[in-house]
Structure formats: structure tokens, C-alpha cells
Amino acid sequence: MYRRFGEVDAARTSPLYERVAVALSESGEALRAIEAAPARKRHPAVILAALHDLALAGRAPALAAAYAAADGDAAADAAIDTLLRITDSVVAVAVRRQPRTNETGRCAVLYPAIAEAARRVGAHAVGLIDVGCSAGLNLNVDRVGITYGDGLSLGDPSSPVQMSASIVGGRPVPTRAMPEVVARIGVDLDPVDVTDADEARWLRACLSPDQPELLARLEGETALAATAPPLLLRGDAVEVLPDAFARVPADALPVVTTTWALSHFPLESRLRFLHRLDEAAAGRPVAWVSAEGVGVAPTIPTLGDRRASGHSVIGLAVFGQSALHAEAVGRCWSQGRTLAWLAGS
């Protein structure tokens, strides 16, 4: 597992982690230390993040120095030494924490879809409810700047957080601005509070040390989120959603967002999730914006695409008092770094 992670998974994005993971796979002592963790916590992404967290916390200075120098050989030696020297600490971090992915390219997908949802309903304000929110960074979708490959810019051009996405296909992303966001609510089984130093450090630890652009963007995003922290609701989304809807002002359109979250739900829970949205629409319109694998989001058309085809479908569903209108408004790749907009203007 560690060799495959290094030679296949990490090789595409992190030469440093490629070297460390392969070194761990070749050390019998290291593998025995990893076996001190519960089976579900032995995955390379979890153990490497735990080691990185301890390095960031000052508990593994040699490893921190090797990471800072992007020295793969030194990092491999220091990772093994740290794992053997403070096995209990590594395991304790791994057991306590969940791996976090906060790919902010998602905002490039969410922004035009949320704006389109508001246009269709005629809403002048929206309340965002992000399911599977982690740290709730995507709830600041209107507070970041987004530049698309065709030259279009959306969001806040003066924001300290800027991102980009490439465009494929012949249809441009709509230029419509998102209306005022009057509520930002995150729902997660284990949400991350970015105002807590330990939790913010864990977000950094889940990125490999040799991804400075992602690390810098995460720093900017956590700082931005800390200036206006979202409301984080802990619990199962199906159970918590009614409370989330109740916290959106009556004159605003509730927009629920899911980005690669529903694949973690069993089919029964996905259908119950859909039922919750329909229930909430008994009193006012509700919109659901999704970016999920082909066939994962119930009611969202698959456009004839095959499951596990390497891309995701951007869905927009509007629940009204009498009907549900669900549409695939686009496709995206690499968790929002590339997208094709399909909906009409």
C-alpha cells in the first residue's frame, strides 16, 4: 500500500512524499510501528499527515527541516526516525484526526452554479448550506477571486485569495454575479474550526510540504474564513439539515451545496437527503448545487456519461412547491480545476 501510494499516487503531485512513502514501504521497523495504529488509520495519507502535523508543531524538527529544504532523502530518514521515536504520538494524531481535502478549485464550479440558481428563482439574497463542509472554506465562494481560462473573472478581484480554472468546450461560463450571501452554514460529522490553531494546523498537515502554492492558498483561505467564521453544525446531514434551513432568513434562497460528498453516503441516505430538500421546499424554493461523480447525485442527469469516467457532473436542482427541476449544467475535472459549462444563458 505504501509503495503504491508513493509510486502511483504521490508521484503525480509530490516528489517528496513519493520518496518518503517508498522509504516507509522498505522499512520493516517503520511498517511495524504503523501497525500500532488501528487498521483504518494506517493509510499513507493519514500517517503522512500525522507526521507532517508533528513537524509543524515543533515535535519533529529534523523532519520539519527536511521538508523545508524539500530534501527527499533527508525527509525519508527523518520520517522513519520520527515514526520510531514517537510512535505513540503519531498514532494518537492519526486516531484523533480525519484526512481533510479543501480543494478550493471547487469555488470556480460553485460560483456560476449558485448565481444561476438565484437567477432562476429570482432571489436577491442566498443562504449557503455546505454539506460535508470540513472547515467551511467553500462557504466563502463569493469572497474569493476566480479567473477562468477564457478571461472571465468572477467574485472579488481584491480578495487575498485568488484562484483560476481552465475552460473546455464552446460555451462560456455565465458572467452573472452572485447575490448577497446572508447566511453561511456548514454541516459535517466532524467540522474543522479554522479559528482553533491546532485544527488549522491539521488542515496544513493534510497537504504535502512540497506544494507551496496550495499551502499559501490554504493560509489565505483560513485567514479569510477566520474574519467571518461560518456557523458549523455537527452531525449527520440528513438529521441536521432542518436546523440548517431554519437558520436561513425567510427572504433568502437556501442553496445547499455538495462537492464530492454524497459518494460517502449510502444510497438510502442520498435518497433521504433528497427528501429533506423536498420537505424544506414546502414553504419556499430551495436550490441544490452539486459537483459529484457521474450517477452519484440522485435526480441529476448523467448526460449519457459512464460511471467512474474520470470527470464529475455539475448539477443544479430547484425544488418548488409543486415541482422539481433538475439539470446537469456542466462537467468538471480535477475537482474544479477544469470545467465545461453546458447550460444555456
In the block, cell 460528498 appears at 261
Assess contact for 34 and 24: CB atoms under 8 A. Answer: yes
| Residue 209 cell numbers, joined | 510540504
Helix 44-56 / helix 72-85 crossing angle, nearest 10 deg = 90
Is pLDDT at 134 greater than 90 in this prediction?
no
Is pLDDT at 339 greater than 80 in this prediction?
yes
Mean pLDDT, rounded, for 118-138? 94
Each residue's pLDDT tens digit, 68-94: 999 999 999 999 999 999 999 999 999
Is pLDDT at 103 greater than 70 in this prediction?
no
Is pLDDT at 322 greater than 80 in this prediction?
no
The per-residue pLDDT for 283 is 87
d(CA 228, CA 236): 24
Assess contact for 178 and 123: CB atoms under 8 A. Answer: no
Each residue's pLDDT tens digit, 145-199: 999 998 999 999 999 999 999 999 989 999 999 999 999 999 999 898 988 999 9
Mean pLDDT, rounded, for 242-266? 96
* pLDDT bucket at 102, cuts 50 / 70 / 90: low
Task: Work out the percent of the chain whose per-residue pLDDT is above 70.
Answer: 98
Q: Which are the contacts of 185, defined by CB distance < 8 A and separation ≥ 6?
A: 127, 128, 129, 130, 139, 230, 231, 232, 233, 244, 247, 248
Where are any strands of DSSP class E within 89-236?
A: 125-131, 145-148, 153-155, 162-167, 180-188, 231-234
User: Residue type at 97?
Assistant: R
Query: What secondary structure letter does DSSP report for 89?
Result: H
Mean pLDDT, rounded, for 47-64? 97
Is pLDDT at 139 greater than 90 in this prediction?
yes
d(CA 203, CA 36): 24
d(CA 210, CA 18): 11
The per-residue pLDDT for 321 is 66
pTM: 0.90
Which of 37-46, 76-85, 315-324 has the least mean pLDDT?
A: 315-324
